Amino acid sequence: MPTLQEMLDFYRSEPDSKDHVKLERTFQEVLKRRMARRTLLKGAAASVPFAILGLEPGSRAQAATSDGLTFQAITLDNSDSVTVPAGYKVDNLIRWGDPVVAGAPNFDPDNLTPEAQAIQFGYNCDFLGWFELPFSQGILTVNHEYTNEELMFAGYDSDNPTEDQVNIGILAHGASIIHVTAVPTSQSSFRWAVARGSGLNRRITGETEMEITGPLAGHALMKTSEDASGTKVRGMFNNCGGAMTPWGTYLTAEENFDQYFANNAGVENEGVKAYNSRLGVSNAASGRKWERVHSRFDLAQEPNEMNRFGYIVEIDPYDPTSVPKKQTALGRFKHEAASVVVTPSGRVAVYSGDDARFEYVYKFVSEGVYDPKDRKANFGLLDSGTLYVAKFNEDGTGEWLPLAFGETGLTPTNGFANQGEVLLKTRFAADEVGATPMDRPEDIDWNPANNKVYVALTNNTQRGTEGNGPLGQDGPIPRAATDAANPRATNRWGHIIEITAADGDHAADTFEWEIFMLCGDPSVPEQEAFFAGFDPSRVSPIGCPDNIMFDRRGNLWIATDGMPSVLPGNDGIFAVPTDGSDRGYLRQFLSGVPGCEIASLIMNRQNSTLFVAVQHPGEGGTYEEPISNFPDGGTPNRPTVVAVTKASGPDYRIGT
């Protein structure tokens, strides 16, 4: 019988290649010869056939003939349960505090400890990544963006957190990597379960040691009293969106990392202090008060510690002993997400947004070339390359402006001593070259069905109004007026832009773009909602698009964050075709619970399951006065990953 390691070594050699079907069949033949129908792993899930998930021979390579979205759209909902169309079911997969690592205790809200949290599922689940394994199994990677102590702890005092509360909060950040399996519940139904005790299960926290790679590794501004080399850092924080690379690693994006640091007034380097202010760091105490317990969060004591946060982190989900890497070549800002595309030349393009009002859309292009035959040869691909920022022209064209030291004003005269400082102060560099300020770039994703890239812009109520926007190196920058790419003043509803790379090459310096969707309620003409030209009277109302993904047919699936501020319903999930006669036909598929954000969504390879991150349920309430009792009907409410499947039947594909 092959070991787990032998299975992984074989299966992950080309984890996302076009030959995956052939690889999977070959693997099954090997297993049949070596196992003679015996189970590969302990547990019933190993015997679940692919057929139960709707996988048919060669089906991955078959061209779609329709969008396949045949579910009956739901309406806006504000109930305290996750709502999906008739014929679908929702199962809780894993909740805050559930055991992850072998030996972890069960969740006990009356006895929370740092030791337990370090090996239990973290708080506020966000980006979900899916790495397929054979026999109806997979590795689910989950970001833990931030913590809501007022919902976690009874009697929490934000002005005087205890040492244990601080340490539990730190350890509830990071990520969870979990091995999940499909378990049959009847002849025509199944559910997903965590493979307890699996060697693949792993917690990454705010204390996990990580490597700093790329141009900033060893830079003077990365060195601290704890790390004189400037190449190692403890932990990652506020990890929001992410991506899966073609070589089978997991990218996770540090977003609002400013909130963990205090006393920016104590930073002596004026350029760093100014950039910290642009990021929103407090000149005095932080809101969390972690600096009272750990001096590394006090910039008056450790002025360079914050410089080591704000990056895309690369993690190998197949190797629990691997060291996460902070990829500084991709820039330092409030990364909302990442999306990876292999270009015709074999170089890798990584798209990312900076989630703040009037910030920018970025693209990194690797110097090296992707090798589909040697997985480990790709592990350094993100260490070096060129970072670009987008300029959206009024005529529907666009340019990628390089952020390269010595070019276009990125010189010592303008505050950039070397390429490391260009990357450390990415927003200032983007200001200097003349990028287009956007309406909060959130998730960015590539659609493999049409080779286009989609940018979700959540909202910007300051667009086209008087006053100051972001801080530049020389002081406040006036708020930007409306423009073709950001056409609505006081944009409360958000919009989505579709980008077409020149000649289909994502390494190209130019692109074309168009508005794919102006979100809002189509029944309110003043909102000027637009749905790719589709009849607005037939679509679902939507607000504040956040995270996005594509199914096998190229349909765009949208999760929202903040929709209750503009529409009378909880945040939810919507699906819309990007091509064909139904392009723009938006329908709501899922509704969350009060106070929550639908933070992320991902489907397994067969599109038989939609995994959904229900983040901060009940935000706006407290432990003592909750506004949601999700998921268990009691207190405390718990961020949860749920799995949505068809309730029963021979074809389990979502939407069909």
What pLDDT, in 10s, does the model give residues 538-567? Answer: 999 999 999 999 999 999 999 999 999 999
pLDDT digits (tens, 9 = 90+) for 331-380: 999 999 999 999 999 999 999 999 999 999 999 999 999 999 999 999 99
* DSSP code per residue over 48-98: --GGGGT--TTGGGSPPSS----SPPP----SSS-B--TTEEEEEEEETT-
**Using CA atoms, how far apart are residues 580 and 393, in angstroms rounded to an integer?**
27
Where in the chain are the domains? 39-255+310-646
Give the pair of three-digit tokens for residue 584: 């723009």
| pLDDT (0 to 100) of residue 638 | 98
Q: Does 478 sit behind a cis peptide bond, omega within 30 degrees of 0 on the bond before it?
A: no
User: Residue 654 above 70 pLDDT?
Assistant: no
Q: Residue 15: its pLDDT value, please? A: 47
270-279 helix and 426-433 helix, angle to the nearest 10 degrees: 90
**Which range has the worst mean pLDDT, 2-16, 62-76, 497-511?**
2-16
* 265 Cβ contact list (under 8 Å, min separation 6): 273, 283, 284, 300
State mean pLDDT over 495-520. 98
Averaged pLDDT of the chain: 91
Bridge-based pairing of strands 232-234 and 441-447 is: unpaired
Cα–Cα distance for residue pair 448/18, rounded to 1 Å: 12
Element (H, E) at 35: helix 20-35
pLDDT score, position 191: 92
What is the average pLDDT across 95-110? 97
Cβ burial of 450 (10 Å; 0-12, 13-18, 19+) is: middle
pLDDT band at 42 (very low <50, low <70, confident <90, very high): very low
Q: Are 233 and 326 in contact (CB under 8 A)?
A: yes
Please, what's the b/e burial string for 90-116 (b: 16 or more CB within 10 A of its CB; e: otherwise)?
A: bebbbbbbbbbbeebeebeeeebebeb
| Burial letters 197-236, b for 16+ CB under 10 A, else e | ebebbbbbbbebebbbbbbbbebebbbbeebeebbbbbbb
User: Which two structure tokens, joined as six digits, stand for 585?
Assistant: 């036909």
pLDDT in tens, 295-329: 999 999 999 999 999 999 999 999 999 999 999 99
H or E segment to which residue 431 belongs: helix 426-433
Strand partners for 478:
468
Give the residue with greater pLDDT, 633 vs 19.
Answer: 633
Q: Does pLDDT of 605 surpass 50?
A: yes
pLDDT at 61: 28
| Three-class secondary structure of residue 565 per DSSP | helix
CATH class label, 39-255+310-646 = mainly beta
Write phi, then psi, for 306 (nearest 5 degrees): -70, -25
Q: Give the DSSP per-residue string, 339-382.
A: EEEE-TTSEEEEEEEB-SEEE-EEEEEEEEE--TT-GGGGTTGG
Higher pLDDT residue, 9 or 212?
212
Q: Which residue has the higher pLDDT, 6 or 152?
A: 152
Residue 23 has pLDDT above 60, yes or no: no
Lowest mean per-residue pLDDT among 90-104, 179-193, 242-256, 411-425 = 179-193
Q: Say what percent of the chain tops pLDDT 70.
A: 89
In the beta sheet, which residues pair with residue 243?
A: 251
Q: What is the pLDDT of residue 553?
A: 95
Closest CA to 128 of 207, 287, 244: 244
pLDDT above 60: residue 25: no
Confidence band for 1, pLDDT divided at 50, 70 and 90 = very low
Find the mean pLDDT for residues 496-517. Answer: 98
For residues 407 and 651, the model is more confident at: 407
Task: Please tell me the least confidently modeled range out of 14-28, 160-174, 349-363, 372-386.
Answer: 14-28
Q: Residue range 250-278: average pLDDT?
A: 97
pLDDT category at 6 given cuts 50, 70, 90 is: low
Number of residues written out for the chain: 656
Note the pLDDT of residue 491: 98
Q: Each residue of 617-649: pLDDT tens digit?
A: 999 999 999 999 999 999 999 999 999 999 876
Non-local (6+) Cβ contacts of 207 within 8 A are 118, 170, 171, 234, 235
Provide the edge-to-edge strand list for the sheet that holds 572-576. Answer: 545-550, 556-560, 572-576, 587-591
| 8-state DSSP, 310 | S
Separation between Cα atoms, residue 259 and residue 132, nearest integer Å: 35
d(CA 494, CA 556): 16
* Residue range 473-481: mean pLDDT, rounded: 96
Is residue 55 scored above 50 in pLDDT?
no
- Name the CA radius of gyration of the chain, rounded: 24
Q: Does residue 486 have a pLDDT over 70?
A: yes
Distance CA 259, CA 256 (A): 7
Distance CA 269, CA 279 (A): 15
pLDDT, tens digit, 9 for 90 and up, residues 200-231: 999 999 999 999 999 999 999 999 999 999 99
Cβ atoms 362, 327 nearer than 8 A: no
Is residue 66's pLDDT more than 80?
Answer: no
> 29 or 619: which carries more pLDDT confidence?
619
The three-state (H, E, C) secondary structure of 382-408, written as one string: HHCEEEEEEEECCCCEEEEEECCCCCC
Q: Are 88 and 647 in contact (CB under 8 A)?
A: yes
